Amino acid sequence: MQKELMDYIQSMLQQGHSEAQIKDALIKAGYSEDDTSQALILTGATQAVQEMQPAAPEKYNYFQRLGTALFKPKTFFANIQDEQGISEALLFLIQTSLITGILAAAGIIIALTMALNFLQSLFPAASALAGQSLLFIAPFIVIAISITIFAASFIGAGILQITAHLLGGQGRFDASYKIVAYSSAVFIPAVFIGFIPGVGQIAIGAWSLIITILGISILHQVTKKRAFAIAILPSIAVGVIGLAISVILGLQVITPVSPPQTIPSTQIVTPTAPRQEITPVSPPQTPITLTAPQTSECAEVNGQWCYSTIVEGGTSQGCSDTKENCADMLYTDLASTKNDLTECDNIADTSKKSSCIGTVAGQQKNKAACDAAPSKDDCYGSYAIISKDSSACDLINDQNAKQACAFLATPPPPVPEAQTVSNETAQCVKEIREYGPAWCYSKSDGSSSCGPKDVCLADWAADTKDPTICNQAAADQQNNCYANMASTTKTPAYCDQAPSPTDCRNTYNSMTP
């Protein structure tokens, strides 16, 4: 199944479909995200898509960067994510800090001048003296603000990088610095509206937070929810640490003001009932063992809700973060394994229930079963994909779902017979297929696999258990080759020989259920 999926992805890429379109369509069709990601890695889809991307846009000048960062931050960060280093971001920050310092100094001088004009009638000599002092300190205000912003940018970027790394961010320090530097664009409007009590500070804070979240989401390649957590976690940590320090210091200065009280000898003390110690029940640490024909309920195992079933016709198991999702997965598997539509009635989620009905209907070639589904679009989509009956896609109302259905309901073209592949050569041989050139390897069991050269080398290495073959792959694919070898042979120690053992093990973990 993995080989058919890889061949199908390769074919779709050559037809011009993007990795995101293929992945989204396969997940909607019922393939797991792990299987889809693994297939994309082994086919080299990521590299192929990157080679198809257009060249980086022209550089912005300062005011274009300022305006776009403030009002179109999502577009801005998407366009500058390929910038190398922090030179452009650092220049932007220096220019912004100088402009902010000048505006702030001007505002301070104007405010104090207005105050001194009010006092001039009372203290004319002091007014003239103060005016000379303001002219003297104005440059220092600009310098102080600029230096503060400059120093704070590196500290803030360091804290952001640590937090992003802990929460799964993919970017390096230069990505974190770009986020901090370009988020400083709000300092300029802050000079004009920040003085408004309450509203000004809230508006500027929210504005800065939105820019920061979008920057983290794009440059660190995480979801917006996780980007929000990365953005606010340092503030929460500082608040908690400050509160803890305050409590500790407060406890140190508190002294008792009264001696401890004693119970008079004549006072009768009624004993209380002894406390009953409650022993927590530990979750099961071993998989649930079942005998046919039995069905397990969802049970909490190591923080997840898992089930395992053994029924006539097949075995299935799975885990989910919530009990509700676990139950839906359980009944979906039961319905598919037993080919029984009534099991779908136990599913709470209407979309999953409809997909379950469509899956069983597809197995039974019974399109009419979708008439009883809560969501007919989901039912017809699953039916079409399972039964390979693309005519059912025409019954779907949602256009995006209809296109995805037609895309997946059409079976991939059969792989033509390869040209002669010698078992004696034990190496990858370039062949010409209907869809273009491919590299094929004849395995020890007599079967052969074909695909991109790096995939062929990975199959060869795994079949012969020879990790040195992975060194013939492209530099950016060697870790994937070692990971495939570790996954196929169930020997994660092979990752220790990879150029990056950490990257190899991460890929291995994503490939291993």
Q: Tell me if 259 is assigned to some domain.
A: no
Same domain, 34 and 70: no
Which tokens is 139 given? Answer: 């440059």
Same domain, 202 and 128: yes
Model pLDDT for residues 489-505, shown as the tens digit of each residue: 888 888 888 998 888 88
Q: Tell me if 250 is assigned to some domain.
A: no
Residue 9 one-letter amino acid: I
Same domain, 335 and 482: no
Is residue 466 pLDDT above 50, yes or no? yes
Angle at 441 between CA 440 and CA 447, to 5 degrees: 110
Is residue 325 pLDDT above 50, yes or no? yes
Q: 171 phi and psi, to 5 degrees?
A: -80, 160
105-121 in b/e form (b: 16+ CB < 10 A) is beeebeeeeeebeeeee
Same domain, 179 and 319: no
Q: Tell me if 388 is assigned to some domain.
A: no
Same domain, 197 and 231: yes
The Cα 35–Cα 41 span in angstroms is 10
Least confident of 27-36, 139-148, 496-505: 27-36
At 124, is the pLDDT very low, low, confident or very high (cuts 50, 70, 90)? low
According to DSSP, residue 490 is labeled: T
Least confident of 76-85, 184-193, 403-412: 403-412
Q: Tell me if 351 is assigned to some domain.
A: no
At 381, is the pLDDT very low, low, confident or very high (cuts 50, 70, 90)? confident
332: containing domain: 288-340
Same domain, 118 and 84: yes
Q: Tell me if 282 is assigned to some domain.
A: no
Q: Flag whether the pTM goes above 0.85.
A: no
Q: Tell me if 454 is assigned to some domain.
A: yes
Same domain, 69 and 42: no
Same domain, 174 and 320: no
Same domain, 100 and 40: no
Residues 6+ positions from 428 with CB-CB distance below 8 Å: 439, 440, 441, 453, 456, 457, 460
Same domain, 87 and 205: yes
Q: Tell me if 263 is assigned to some domain.
A: no
Rg value, the chain, Cα: 33
Model pLDDT for residues 56-100, shown as the tens digit of each residue: 444 668 888 888 888 988 888 888 877 888 888 899 889 888 998
The Cα 395–Cα 376 span in angstroms is 8
| Greater model confidence, 143 or 272 | 143
Same domain, 95 and 192: yes
Q: 420 phi and psi, to 5 degrees?
A: -55, 125
Q: Tell me if 10 is assigned to some domain.
A: yes
The Cα 190–Cα 485 span in angstroms is 56
pLDDT value of residue 370: 92
Could you tell me how far CA 186 lies from the centroid of its own chain? 27
* DSSP characters over 150-212: HHHHHHHHHHHHHHHHHTT----HHHHHHHHHHHGGGHHHHHHHTTSTTHHHHHHHHHHHHHH
Nearest to 101 by CA among 167, 188, 38: 188
Nearest to 179 by CA among 121, 132, 240, 221: 221
Same domain, 94 and 182: yes
Is residue 456 pLDDT above 50, yes or no? yes
Count structural domains, the chain: 4
Output the CA–CA distances (angstroms, integers) from residue 143 to 63, 138, 139, 148, 192, in the order listed: 22, 9, 6, 8, 20
Beta strands 299-301 and 294-295: pairing type?
unpaired
